[in-house]
A and B are shown apart, each in its own frame.
Chain A
Amino acid sequence: MSPERARTQRITQRAGVRTTSLRSIGMPRGLLVRVDASAHPIAVARADARGQRHAESRVEQVEEVWRVAEAWWRESTQARTYYRVILEGGRPLTLFRDDATGAWFEQAYSTPGHTTAHE
């Protein structure tokens, strides 16, 4: 806990301060992905909250690939490779690979400042 945070919490206890919380919208959701030799996704499957794996969907087409590196000058940088793909049946999906851990996630993505998501 940072000293600043500790101080703020002391104030909270003393003065009966209400706490307001912000819950982020659009958090990434875990995805099970099969990749080819180039590490591009070739099939995806969702898992529910209990870890139950759903049926796998084949990736028919990779429409776009882009990379987002946030705060790359810091040690704990967040680097992601996003893919906008078309699944079998024509359903679009945006997913990304966390370049630090290799884990895959599904997340709607729009250009900053726009509200329409690519999915």
Chain B
Amino acid sequence: MPTLRINAPSRSIACLAIPSLAFQCELVEHPGLLGTPVALSDEAHSRVADLTPEARRHGVRAGMTLRDAVELCPTLSILEPRPALVARFARDLVEAMAAVSPLIEEAPAAEGGAGVVFADLRGTEGMYPRLGDLKRAVFAGVPPQLRAQLGVADARFTALRAAYRAEPGAALHVPLAEAPAFLAAESVTHLPLDIDTVERLQLLGIETCGPFAALPRHAVEAQFGLEGGVAWLAASGEDPRPVRPRPWERERVVEHVQAEPPLVSRETVLHALEQMLGRALRQPRARHRFVRLVRLRAETERGALWEREQVLREPLGDRTRLWTLLRSIVEYAVFPGPFSLVTLELAGLTDESGRQHSLFVEQTRRREQLDEMVRHLKVRFGESPLARVVDVEPWHRLPEHRRALLEYDP
């Protein structure tokens, strides 16, 4: 069994990839479609974004209009993309990689975007001395139907290409010495170069990494600048680009609320969020700390995703100010439909703040006293005895649909 190198240079990078995550997610949800001609439409529902090999055999191609695709293949099943589902599976991948390393990076769009995650494995060699151990630890958190592929190498580009060339559900390790030969056949379109540079290379008859790496480095840098030099190193198996984790984001608290029935009106979303904020700030990890990033995510029953992210100019630890920010995000938002799941994430928790605390905390104290009282009542009665009246569909012609009681659960 291949083993990871333990001695220096220990720059091992793992890359977990699911080519065409959106398509795989849909196939997981519709296992009966495996082995049949299936196409995934784009978000505008007008063109084919991805397809199965069975559909390809009928002549269907990505980018084709759906009408043309159906004419070519009358038995074609067309699936609509569901961003919420894709985002959820993408988060699963990140969590799966976070199980083996604290330094995780979601790949930028140029390297595959959602569905590709890098992990810096330096320092974990003792925990996962063999490739099989690493593979088991990573794949334990990934649904097997997603057919994830794991690549391990000493450089970022090599790990990425190894992940794409690994068999579905398998891992591929490319040692440093074998990297140039491994990458030689890779297309230059995969290199970290802009489109114009790739076109110039192709005009020069350089289609793959092998001939590109055979050029003198100084000549490549003279022609294509620093970017060319980085690409040359990548093609030689020595990609200098590190994994760029955002460790401060890992310090976070997350609150979820599933709404039954789904939250229709803006007011109900606001009330749910206000309670989630209170709960998030009371989590031990967030107590007496300050927030640098707020992320709101909501899903409709049909899988549409609404997401907002706000990086704060200065860390905030005050509930009132955080609530003012959240409210302003929600009040001006256009929702894709009634929400069945709402997630609030407070990330980048820090101890620092440049703000002087107010001496007048009476109002805050009253609120905390109320919340404390409700928690006591909840312990005693099993559920919160307080509720708020919220507008649900105040325009509805049937009175019972207009307003509702929302449990007050701080």
Other 17 A-B pairs with CB < 8 A, given A4-B340, A11-B258, A18-B279:
A8-B340, A12-B258, A18-B258, A19-B258, A20-B259, A20-B272, A20-B407, A20-B409, A22-B259, A22-B261, A22-B268, A22-B390, A23-B404, A24-B400, A26-B399, A78-B398, A112-B397
Q: Which residue of A lies closest to B383 (CB)?
A: A21
Q: List 30 A-B contacts (CB under 8 A).
A: A4-B303, A5-B301, A8-B301, A17-B258, A18-B279, A20-B257, A20-B258, A20-B275, A21-B407, A22-B390, A22-B392, A22-B404, A22-B406, A23-B387, A23-B405, A24-B401, A24-B403, A24-B404, A25-B389, A26-B402, A27-B400, A28-B400, A68-B398, A70-B397, A80-B398, A107-B399, A109-B399, A112-B394, A113-B395, A117-B399
In the bound complex, how far is the Cα of B343 from the Cα of A11, in angstroms? 12
Cβ–Cβ < 8 Å partners of A107 in chain B: 399-400
Cβ–Cβ < 8 Å partners of A24 in chain B: 392, 400-401, 403-405
Q: Does B396 contact A (CB under 8 A)?
A: yes
In the bound complex, how far is the Cα of B131 from the Cα of A3, in angstroms? 37
Cβ–Cβ < 8 Å partners of B272 in chain A: 20
In the bound complex, how far is the Cα of B392 from the Cα of A28, in angstroms? 17
Cβ–Cβ < 8 Å partners of A2 in chain B: 301
In the bound complex, how far is the Cα of B85 from the Cα of A7, in angstroms? 9
Interface residues on B, range: 35 or more
Rounded to whole Å, the gap between the CB of A112 and the closest CB of chain B is 5
Cβ–Cβ < 8 Å partners of B268 in chain A: 22
From B257, B263, B406, give the contact of A18 (CB < 8 A). B257
Rounded to whole Å, the gap between the CB of B208 and the closest CB of chain A is 42
Q: Does A108 contact B (CB under 8 A)?
A: yes
Q: Does B88 contact A (CB under 8 A)?
A: yes
Interface residues of B (CB under 8 A from A): 29, 85, 88, 255-261, 263, 268, 272, 275, 279, 299, 301-303, 340-341, 387, 389-390, 392, 394-407, 409
Q: Does A110 contact B (CB under 8 A)?
A: yes
Given contacts A11-B88, A20-B406, A23-B387, contact A70 B398 (CB under 8 A): yes
Q: Does A100 contact B (CB under 8 A)?
A: no
Cβ–Cβ < 8 Å partners of B389 in chain A: 25
Rounded to whole Å, the gap between the CB of A38 and the closest CB of chain B is 24
User: Contact: A21 with B260, CB < 8 Å?
Assistant: yes
Q: Does A55 contact B (CB under 8 A)?
A: no
Cβ–Cβ < 8 Å partners of A39 in chain B: none
Q: Does A49 contact B (CB under 8 A)?
A: no
Given contacts A2-B301, A11-B88, contact A25 B341 (CB under 8 A): no
User: Contact: B302 with A19, CB < 8 Å?
Assistant: no
Rounded to whole Å, the gap between the CB of A115 and the closest CB of chain B is 9
In the bound complex, how far is the Cα of B399 from the Cα of A109, in angstroms? 6
In the bound complex, how far is the Cα of B15 from the Cα of A76, in angstroms? 52
From A4, A5, A109, A112, give the contact of B395 (CB < 8 A). A112
Cβ–Cβ < 8 Å partners of A112 in chain B: 394-397, 402
Q: Does A15 contact B (CB under 8 A)?
A: yes
User: Contact: A8 with B387, CB < 8 Å?
Assistant: no
Given contacts A25-B389, A109-B399, contact A11 B301 (CB under 8 A): no
